[in-house]
Amino acid sequence: MFKKILLVEDDKFLRELMSKKLLSLGYEVSTAPDGETGIEMIKSEKPEVVLLDLILPGINGFDVLEKAKKDPETANIPVVILSNLGQSEDIERGLKLGAKDFLVKAHFTPQEIVNKLKTILE
């Protein structure tokens, strides 16, 4: 069974790279370029896991996370934050809002990110 992953990321190139990696490993990938679309797609696609950026045009990632966790329909979908914020306050806030993990983009390779997703999907 292919696992479905939703990638919420506003940078086109990063989105492409991550999608490419995930697709090559046999995952099914949907992408959202902003927070608004992200929320809609979490509801409509029901992915197994969400990779969520924080600095997004319009609604930011924290708000997306909060909305997803408040909606009983989507509350159980695990969300992993993948952002270039990464100060203790940001991490704390993300985890408090219910994120499974907080990854700083510049500190992880795509493979390492996939490994994190794997442990969550198992």
Query: Interface with another protein by CB under 8 A: which residues?
Result: 11, 13-14, 17-18, 20-21, 24, 55, 84-85, 87-89, 104-107, 109-111
Q: Which is nearer to another protein, 11 or 28 (CB)?
A: 11
Tell me the closest approach of the beta carbon of residue 20 to another protein, in angstroms.
7
Shortest separation between residue 113's beta carbon and another protein, angstroms: 9
Please say which residue, 77 or 114, places its beta carbon nearer to another protein.
114
Q: For the chain, give the secondary structure using H, E and C.
A: CCCEEEEECCCHHHHHHHHHHHHHCCCEEEEECCHHHHHHHHHHHCCCEEEECCCCCCCCHHHHHHHHHHCCCCCCCCEEEEECCCCHHHHHHHHHCCCCEEEEHHHCCHHHHHHHHHHHHC
